[in-house]
Chains A and B, each alone.
Chain A
């Protein structure tokens, strides 16, 4: 199960698993948010390409609006998926 929780102005916390079965739910949750946005990923245990696509869509939308999108505190295994996708060089991951 995936959860996106707003924890403060412009800050959300991601929890659980962002896989293909959760991608649509996640995308709808992200689309309600305006930037600039910081996503605390410390509780994100798993991500697949379907989840990566949600993050990429959000990045594209906010970038087009001139807003920043930062991903923070990513677990190493989740970060590796971004690295294997070559997106660690494009997205702001701290």
Chain B
């Protein structure tokens, strides 16, 4: 498992992508799972940035590969827990689906095989599992 901390800002995204690519190269991730990992992490990270008000702490991202399982974990010190598994996008009222924010979490649920959330001791942890070709 590799881990890195990132400033709570969407401006961190290029550094996060570089981190994922570095992990992908060293752990034999193909382009499809790398794309999925980037998408899952961006959606979760930007929601933590958006809803984690009242804190300036960095967000930790962990990546691990065990055979055909890719594990993605984000840890955040927040006042109010943010549970993506309980969040649904607000309908926009037309055919274009949920409003921004909800759409990203719907994407995570579509792509991931499992999304687990826990909040303990002031730390929110979101763990996503994605099956990938072995």
Contact = CB atoms under 8 A, between A and B. Distances in A.
Interface stretch (A4-12, A33-41, A65-73, A80-88): A80-88
A84 B110 CA distance: 7
Interface residues of A, number: 20
B54 interface: no
A59 B17 CA distance: 28
A87 B132 CA distance: 25
If over half of A's interface residues share one DSSP class (helix, strand or loop), that class is named, otherwise mixed; here it is helix
A48 interface: yes
B46 A53 contact: no
A84 B107 contact: yes
Interface string B104-117: 10110011000000
Interface of A: 17, 19-21, 46, 48-50, 52-53, 56, 59-60, 77, 81, 84-87, 90
Interface of B: 10-11, 13-14, 17, 31-32, 35, 38-39, 42-43, 46, 95-97, 100-101, 103-104, 106-107, 110-111
